Amino acid sequence: MRTRIAFKPVEILVVEDSKGDIGLIEEGFEDAKIGNILHIVEDGEEAIAFFTW
């Protein structure tokens, strides 16, 4: 018998400027049933701003 362990979702910051690549990343997470929270920004400036607000 398998025991399911509940994990708290991990928040992941994705820095990617290609809409197509973002779609592939999101699709991969959905297909793999990975319940982590994705925050998506397009460049380094947005990534820094993400951590400072």
pLDDT given for residue 45 in this prediction: 96
Do residues 37 and 14 touch, judged by C-beta distance below 8 A? no
**pTM value?**
0.77
Query: What pLDDT does residue 20 have?
Result: 98
Task: State the pLDDT confidence band at 1, using cuts at 50, 70 and 90.
Answer: low
Give per-residue pLDDT as tens, 3-24: 877 788 899 999 999 999 999 9
Three-state helix/strand/coil letters over 12-35: EEEECCCHHHHHHHHHHHHHCCCC
Query: In whole numbers, what is the pLDDT of the chain averaged over residues?
Result: 92
d(CA 22, CA 25): 5
Across the range 28-44, mean pLDDT stands at 95
